[in-house]
Homo-oligomer: A and B are copies of this chain.
Amino acid sequence: MLQHETHETNTEITSFLPQIKLFESLPAEIIHEIAQSAPRSNTVRFAKSSILQTPDNEKNGLFFVIAGKLRFYKTDPFGKQHTVCMLIEGGIFGEVEPFSLGARGSYVEALEDSTVFWIPAERFEPLLRKYPELCLLFLSEMSKRLRDQDELVEKLVFRDLRGKVLYFLNRLSKKFGTEENEYRKIDIPLTHQELADMIGATREAVSLVLKELSNEGILVTGRKTIRIHIEKMMNEID
A residues whose Cβ falls under 8 Å from a Cβ of B: 74, 76, 80, 82, 84, 98-100, 102, 104, 128-129, 132, 135-136, 138-140, 142-143, 145-147, 149-150, 152-154, 156-158, 199-200
Interface of A, helix, strand, loop or mixed by DSSP: helix
Q: Which residues of B contact A143 (CB under 8 A)?
A: 98-100, 142
User: Do A140 and B99 have beta carbons less than 8 Å apart?
Assistant: yes
When all copies of this chain in the complex are counted, the total is: 2
Q: Which residues of B contact A139 (CB under 8 A)?
A: 98-99, 128, 135, 138-139, 142
Please give me the 9 A-B residue pairs with the lowest Cβ-Cβ distance, nearest first. Answer: A157-B200, A99-B143, A149-B149, A142-B142, A135-B135, A98-B140, A76-B158, A99-B139, A156-B156
Nearest-neighbour CB distance to chain B for A91, whole angstroms, equals 16
In the complex, A154→B140 CA distance in Å? 24
In the complex, A145→B144 CA distance in Å? 12
Q: Which residues of B contact A149 (CB under 8 A)?
A: 146, 149-150, 153
Nearest-neighbour CB distance to chain B for A103, whole angstroms, equals 10
A80-B158, A156-B157 known; A98 and B147 CB under 8 Å?
no
Q: Which residues of B contact A128 (CB under 8 A)?
A: 132, 136, 139
In the complex, A91→B163 CA distance in Å? 33
User: Do B99 and A150 have beta carbons less than 8 Å apart?
Assistant: no
In the complex, A80→B99 CA distance in Å? 34
In the complex, A90→B150 CA distance in Å? 22
Q: Which residues of B contact A98 (CB under 8 A)?
A: 136, 139-140, 143
In the complex, A135→B136 CA distance in Å? 7
In the complex, A102→B146 CA distance in Å? 8
In the complex, A150→B157 CA distance in Å? 14
Nearest-neighbour CB distance to chain B for A184, whole angstroms, equals 24
